């Protein structure tokens, strides 16, 4: 309740026009750092025997709790601030469309993940959770599953190297681009909000060039991965292999990537200063073949941004939920003692049932 009051106050101060942009971005930075720390503490808890168990539990629970609230307060602060800026006519219409769409997409994603991963599994967590003790977790097995099944997808490789390549390209392209975009927000938005000079503003700065290259490479990986997935679908059509495809997701992702490269190509064609574009090789290629009109840029930008938001919201709604559910399932099933805990509990339940009979 206290946090909700702070959130409402931040919105009100923002609407009064007395909140600096740095407050929202500062909160976002702190919240992101807390969430990363939470993931770090939880990983140490699950994968190693380091540090005392209860302290680690308190550390990751506290970091997730504070990080979650910090993130909501950041959204509140930025909503108030940007609403005031928009009403004063200082925000371009494409950002007025994009801002609320991004917040809604993240909300649908968060609620969807909560409902499917946490709420749906609550009965199992309640029944078997008492048996999942840190000391009994088979940590080497868990580490092996993390590397073999989640990072490398070794089983898929043994089944079909082609299917492995198409999935690795999509998985790594999407995952690395997602992390790159989060880091880019730091350089593009957070540093300038504090009034500091950001390498983002300098087109030839090595950090800016590294970002450009990362976006091109990961986008290209997804593009090739999606085209391979479509080829696989054509081959699998009507056969037993079709169940290993998710064509709506592939087409959706392909549309996001293609519209992104088209937007970049138009931006480059319109640019008068071409310094610092040397590593944007896909954008350069697109700009060299595209018939250009300056009028296309904003509509294309908005279309691409809305598609990207739509894809984030779509993840928990259909088969794409596997990108979150499958890793958790495989981790839970990997240490044999977690499975045996489940079995022990079921068998002892049967015996108790028998006792009663």
The one segment of 94-102, 193-201, 241-249, 260-268 that binds ligand HEM by CB under 6 A:
241-249
Separation between Cα atoms, residue 9 and residue 340, nearest integer Å: 50
Among 76, 170, 257, 308, binds ligand HEM (CB under 6 A): 170
Nearer to ligand HEM, 109 or 232 (CB): 232
Nearest to residue 37, comparing CAs of 13, 18, 65? 65
Residue placing its CB nearer to ligand HEM in the complex, 189 or 246? 246
Candidate ranges 29-37, 80-88, 168-176, 299-307; the one touching ligand HEM (CB under 6 A): 168-176
With vertex at residue 181, the alpha carbon angle to CA 175 and CA 187, rounded to the nearest 5 degrees, is 145
Q: Which of 99, 112, 186, 327 binds ligand HEM (CB under 6 A)?
A: 327
Under the binding rule (CB under 6 A), the answer on residue 247 touching ligand HEM is yes
Instruction: Mention every residue, 6+ apart, whose C-beta is less than 8 A from residue 10.
Output: 19, 23, 24, 73, 76, 77, 80
| Candidate segments 98-106, 239-247, 262-270, 283-291, binder of ligand HEM by CB under 6 A | 239-247
Dihedral angle computed from the Cα positions of residues 333, 338, 339 and 343, in that order, rounded to the nearest 10 degrees? -160
145 binds ligand HEM (CB under 6 A): no
Question: Minimal CA–CA distance to 307: which of 296, 297, 299?
Answer: 299
Which residue in 322, 339, 347, 349 binds ligand HEM (CB under 6 A)?
322
Q: Is residue 117 part of the contact set for ligand HEM (CB under 6 A)?
A: no
The residue among 209 and 254 lying less far from ligand HEM, judged by its C-beta, is 254
208 scored as a contact of ligand HEM (CB under 6 A): no
Cβ partners under 8 Å of residue 254, min gap 6: 222, 223, 226, 227, 230
Residue 151, token pair as written in the block: 């990072």
Question: Could you give the count of Cα atoms lying within 13 Å of 136 in the half-sphere of its Cβ?
Answer: 13
Return the C-alpha torsion angle 347, 353, 356, 357, nearest 10: -110
**Cα–Cα dist 53/58, whole Å:** 9
- Is residue 42 involved in binding ligand HEM (CB under 6 A)? no
Residues 6+ apart with CB under 8 A from 23: 10, 77, 81
CB of 161 to ligand HEM, least distance (A): 11
Residue 175 near ligand HEM by CB under 6 A: yes
Number of neighbours of residue 9 by Cβ within 10 angstroms: 15
d(CA 328, CA 351): 30
Contact between 167 and ligand HEM by CB under 6 A: the answer reads yes
Out of 156, 184, 255, 290, point to the residue binding ligand HEM (CB under 6 A). Answer: 156
Q: Any alpha helices (H) in 186-314, and if so which ranges?
A: 191-193, 206-236, 247-270, 281-289, 297-314
Judged by CB under 6 A, the residue of 215, 232, 261, 296 near ligand HEM is: 232
Least Å from the CB of residue 110 to ligand HEM: 17
Contact between 25 and ligand HEM by CB under 6 A: the answer reads no
Count of chain residues binding ligand HEM (CB under 6 A): 22
Asked if residue 229 binds ligand HEM (CB under 6 A), the reply is: yes
Write the interaction track for ligand HEM spanning residues 56-95; mark x where CB under 6 A is met and - where it is not.
----------------------------------------
Among 85, 138, 181, 246, binds ligand HEM (CB under 6 A): 246
| Residue span binding ligand HEM (CB under 6 A) among the ranges 34-42, 131-139, 225-233, 336-344 | 225-233
Burial-class residue 343 by CB neighbours within 10 Å (0-12, 13-18, 19+).
exposed
Stretch that binds ligand HEM, among 67-75, 110-118, 164-172, 342-350 (CB under 6 A): 164-172
Residue whose CB is less far from ligand HEM, 167 or 208: 167
Name every residue whose Cβ is closer than 8 Å to that of residue 74 and which is 6 or more positions away in sequence: 24, 25, 27, 28, 31
Binding site for ligand HEM (CB under 6 A): 150, 156, 163, 166-167, 170-171, 174-175, 229, 232-233, 244-247, 249-250, 322-323, 326-327
């Amino acid at each position: 309740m206290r946090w909700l009051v702070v959130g409402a106050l931040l919105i009100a101060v923002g609407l009064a026009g007395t909140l600096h942009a740095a407050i929202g971005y500062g909160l976002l930075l702190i919240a992101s750092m807390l969430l990363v720390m939470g993931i770090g503490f939880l990983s140490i808890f699950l994968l190693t025997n380091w540090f005392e168990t209860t302290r680690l539990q308190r550390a990751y629970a506290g970091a997730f709790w504070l990080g979650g609230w910090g993130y909501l307060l950041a959204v509140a602060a930025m909503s108030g601030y940007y609403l005031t800026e928009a009403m004063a006519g200082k925000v371009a219409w494409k950002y007025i469309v994009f801002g609320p769409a991004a917040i809604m997409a993240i909300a649908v994603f968060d609620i969807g993940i909560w409902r499917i991963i946490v709420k749906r599994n609550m009965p199992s967590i309640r029944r078997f959770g008492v048996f999942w003790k840190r000391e009994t977790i088979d940590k080497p097995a868990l580490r092996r599953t993390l590397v073999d099944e989640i990072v490398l997808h070794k089983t898929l490789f043994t089944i079909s190297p082609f299917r492995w390549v198409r999935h690795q390209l999509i998985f790594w392209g999407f995952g690395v681009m997602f992390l790159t975009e989060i880091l880019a927000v730091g350089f593009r938005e957070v540093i300038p909000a504090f009034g500091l000079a950001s390498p983002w503003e300098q087109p030839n700065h090595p950090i800016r060039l590294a970002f450009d290259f990362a976006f091109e490479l990961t986008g290209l990986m997804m593009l090739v991965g999606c085209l391979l997935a479509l080829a696989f679908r054509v081959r699998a059509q009507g056969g037993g292999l079709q169940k290993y495809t998710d064509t709506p997701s592939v087409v959706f992702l392909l549309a996001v990537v293609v519209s992104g490269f088209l937007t970049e190509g138009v931006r480059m064609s319109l640019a008068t200063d071409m310094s610092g574009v040397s590593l944007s090789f896909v954008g350069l290629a697109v700009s060299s073949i595209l018939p250009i009109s300056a009028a296309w840029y904003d509509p294309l930008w908005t279309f691409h941004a809305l598609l990207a938001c739509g894809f984030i919201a779509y993840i928990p709604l259909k088969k794409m939920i596997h990108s979150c559910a499958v890793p958790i399932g495989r981790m839970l099933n990997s240490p044999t003692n977690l499975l045996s805990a489940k079995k022990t509990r079921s068998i002892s339940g049967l015996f108790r049932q028998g006792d009663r009979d």
